[in-house]
Structure formats: structure tokens, C-alpha cells
Amino acid sequence: MGIEGKEIQLEDKRLVTFRRATSGDEQFLLGVYTSTRQDELALTNWDDAQRDAFVRMQFDAQQTHYRQYYAEGEHLIILVDGTAVGRLYVANLKEKREILDITLLPQHRSAGIGTPIIRELMAEAALLGKPEDVTVSNEGLRQWLEVFRVLQGSELVLLDESFAALDPETMLTCLETTMRRARTLLVIAHP
């Protein structure tokens, strides 16, 4: 079972599909990866050539790592109405499913695309009887999944800054779901 052949209809009727990434997608994938590094690169005094070299080195290292350690994983291009908008890497391991990476191009973030993909991945993992795990450094995604993982049959939900890194749409979805399902909710907020 995998998400590659799935179609997800979004609330606004757009259609999300997936296709396997190929060597012809390298420039697109590099662009997606580069979009995740812009904030930290802005803090450097590097020129464009230095930034490009650094991003290329990091991208190549990440791709090599995924191919070496997750050769059987799904390395997919996320499409919305046939247009490439991001990447999704999922490892189907014996004991669990790991979301290695989900990244949308900046102009497609907070547009109702990522949440339905995550929901589909979690539903697939549940059907397989496997936990969904996140190994990416995307703290917002990790927190989103943790909230839903905690809510499965729990009487008490403890949230410690759980929504702090989420975009407004995802935060509202998580908050509504939490309040609907949690019998007792304890929220910790740090000033």
C-alpha cells in the first residue's frame, strides 16, 4: 500500500495526485529544497555562488541519505491539478511508516494541501496497523501529528506549545479536532 496511486480531492475541488520522482525532476526538487533554506541563508553574508554551492551540497547529501537508507521508500512529486507543487518522501518500514519529508513550494503553503495529505498518510498507516512517524525537522508537522496521535482514545490531552509553529489554517484544524475529541484538555503556554 502506498500513496503514489491515490487521488485526494481538496475542499476547493482541486485534485492532489502523486507521481514517482525521476532524475528529470532534479532541478524541481532542488528548487523545493532551496525554498526551505532561504531564511537561514538570508542570515549569511555569502554571495549567490556560495549560497548555491551550499544548498547543492546539502541537497545532494539529503538525496544520497534517502536513497541509501530508504531505498524502498516512496520519493514522490506532489501534483495539484497536474502541476508540481512539492515533494513527499515516505518510508514504509516493517514496524512503522515514516514521513521523511513533505515540502510544498512557498506559493502553495497554507493553501489546504498539506493537511489532507497528512490525513491520508495517517489513515494508510492505521490500515496497516503501523504508527506514523515523522523524522523531518519540520516542527510544525511533527506537532500536528503528535496532536492527532495523542487524541487516539485518550481521556486527557496535554498540549505544551503544540500549536506554536503551525500556520493559521492548520492550527485551527488541530484546535477544533482537539476540542471535539478531548474530554479533558490541559494547555501549557510559555510567555
Q: How far apart are CA 187 and CA 52, in angstroms?
A: 42
Mark residue 111 as left, alpha or beta (left: phi above 0; alpha: psi -120 to 50; beta: remaining).
alpha
Compare 186 and 77 and report the one with higher pLDDT.
77
Which distant-in-sequence residues (6+ apart) come within 8 Å of 26 by Cβ?
none
Q: What is the pLDDT of residue 144?
A: 52
Q: What is the pLDDT of residue 122?
A: 78
Sign of the Cα torsion 59, 170, 152, 164 reads positive
Provide the edge-to-edge strand list for the sheet that holds 83-92. Answer: 8-9, 15-20, 74-80, 83-92, 97-104, 132-134
User: Taking Cα atoms as reference points, which of 182, 165, 168, 160 lies closest to residue 110?
Assistant: 168
Distances (CA, A) of 148 to 6, 11, 54, 115: 22, 20, 36, 12
Which distant-in-sequence residues (6+ apart) come within 8 Å of 23 by Cβ?
none
Choice among 101-110, 136-145, 157-166 with the minimum mean pLDDT: 136-145
Give me the percent of the chain exceeding a pLDDT of 70. 70
Give the pLDDT confidence of 117-146 residue by residue, as tens digits: 888 887 777 777 766 554 444 445 555 555
Which distant-in-sequence residues (6+ apart) come within 8 Å of 111 by Cβ?
104
Gyration radius (Cα) of the chain, Å: 18
Give me the percent of the chain exceeding a pLDDT of 90. 29
Q: What is the pLDDT of residue 100?
A: 82
147 within 8 A of 177, measured Cβ to Cβ: yes
Compare 50 and 93 and report the one with higher pLDDT.
50
Q: What is the pLDDT of residue 163?
A: 61
Give the pLDDT confidence of 19-30 residue by residue, as tens digits: 999 999 999 999
Q: Residue 77 pLDDT more than 90?
A: yes
Q: Residue 40 pLDDT more than 70?
A: yes
Q: Residue 85 pLDDT more than 90?
A: yes
138, three cell numbers: 519540520
Q: How far apart are CA 169 and CA 161, in angstroms?
A: 17
> Stretch 85-99: mean pLDDT, rounded?
83
Q: What is the pLDDT of residue 27?
A: 96
Q: Give counts: helices (H), strands (E), the chain.
A: 6, 8
> Stretch 34-55: mean pLDDT, rounded?
87
Q: What is the pLDDT of residue 160?
A: 56
Q: How far apart are CA 79 and CA 76, in angstroms?
A: 9
> What domains are defined for the chain?
1-137 (3.40.630.30), 138-191 (no CATH)
Compare 66 and 174 and report the one with higher pLDDT.
66
Q: Residue 80 pLDDT more than 70?
A: yes
Give first-to-last CA distance, the chain, whole Å. 44
